[in-house]
Amino acid sequence: MKKATKVLALVLSMAMTMAALTACGNDTAAADSTDVTAVEDTQTDAAADSEAADAQTDAAADSEAADAQTDAAADSEAADTQTDAAADTGAVATVQDGVLTFGTNPEFPPFEFVAANGVIDQYDGIDMAIAKQIAEENGMTAAIESMEFDSLLIALQNGQIDAVIAGMTVTDERKEAVDFSVPYYTATQVMIVKEDSDIAKAADMADKKICVVQGYTGETCVSDMGYDYEAFKKGTEAILELVNGKCDVVVIDSATAQKYVDDNEGLKIVEDPDAFESEEYAIAVQKGNTQLLDMINSAIEAKLADGTISALSAQYLDADSEE
């Protein structure tokens, strides 16, 4: 069992690395650059519908192919327990009865960050509010397990958590390891620079010192462009480097970039929709966990349709992120 878990962890970390190498402008991202400008507005109904349909098709295809539940997963006691519980009660089976445990990395404002008064314990942000609502509307309580971004999919596959909500971009490579919900947010990579920077487009980064966050899709984009870069563990560390003049540009997700620029003097955002395609955030569940995925998809679809997610986005983008 220990050995199987180790093998699984290795396979998953390879999948995460592959995702990091190939996710930029992945084909699961929302169609065209018009979406890029609509980041803060959330998707139009039409876009949401068609993306939802695509994602569902993908999810269905994935779950059929999900014999990739690998031997290790089949061995997993957590997986067995979940299946038994589901058969017994008809309720969605979770790691802990009555609790929907989400993994996240609370270093990604406005989606997840630590605050004095969070929505789930000390955890606050758009994702945390969505997680809490999904759980409570289904008669459960939401719990958060905080961990490194790179550990999230491994913890999910090991049965340590029920789902991942972490501003996580859907990529083909990650879809090989887990199933994704319908997307709930469209973002893009942007460049954060000093206000007096002469960087006006992605190509201007060629002779500059670039900072990214390890394992984020921003790292993938810069790597795909063939530029050298330095990767930091946290967004705040990369920003500090920029503020201190030790790097020239940080490439990171748009809404998070906006928070950093709001919270730090002397920085601005430079967009280049030709270089950075749109990305979609979704919730991940274990491969083949259709019961939980259906529940999450219904909740997200309802929240996109009634404007809840749009309102949360506006609320958290305007608010100060106390970290």
Look-up of token digits 């992605």: 202
Residue nearest to ligand GLN (CB): 169
- Residue (227 or 276) nearer to ligand GLN, CB: 276
- Residue (75 or 172) nearer to ligand GLN, CB: 172
* Eight-state DSSP code of residue 168: P
Q: Does 190 bind ligand GLN (CB under 6 A)?
A: no
Q: Does 227 bind ligand GLN (CB under 6 A)?
A: no
CA distance linking residue 151 with residue 136, whole number of Å: 26
- Residue (79 or 222) nearer to ligand GLN, CB: 222
Contact with ligand GLN (CB under 6 A) among 113, 216, 260, 316:
216
| Cβ neighbours of 240 (radius 10 Å) | 16
- Residue (126 or 168) nearer to ligand GLN, CB: 168
| Site map 13..52 versus ligand GLN, x via CB under 6 A | ----------------------------------------
Give phi and psi for 205, each to the nearest 5. Answer: -75, -10
Show contacts with ligand GLN in window 80-139 (CB under 6 A).
Answer: 105, 108
* Eight-state DSSP code of residue 120: B
Q: What is the CA radius of gyration of the chain?
A: 19
Contact with ligand GLN (CB under 6 A) among 149, 229, 260, 276:
149
CA distance linking residue 39 with residue 37, whole number of Å: 6
Three-class HEC string of 97-119: CCEEEEEECCEECCCEEECCCCC
Q: What would the two tokens of residue 231 be? A: 């990767």
CA distance linking residue 163 with residue 313, whole number of Å: 21
Show contacts with ligand GLN in window 238-277 (CB under 6 A).
Answer: 253
Q: How many residues bind ligand GLN (CB under 6 A)?
A: 10
| Shortest Å distance, C-beta 56 to ligand GLN | 20
CA distance linking residue 321 with residue 323, whole number of Å: 6
Q: Stretches 40-48, 79-87, 161-169, 259-267: which one binds ligand GLN (CB under 6 A)? A: 161-169
User: Is there a contact between 12 and 157 (Cβ–Cβ < 8 Å)?
Assistant: yes
Binding positions for ligand GLN, rule: CB under 6 A: 105, 108, 149, 166-169, 216-217, 253
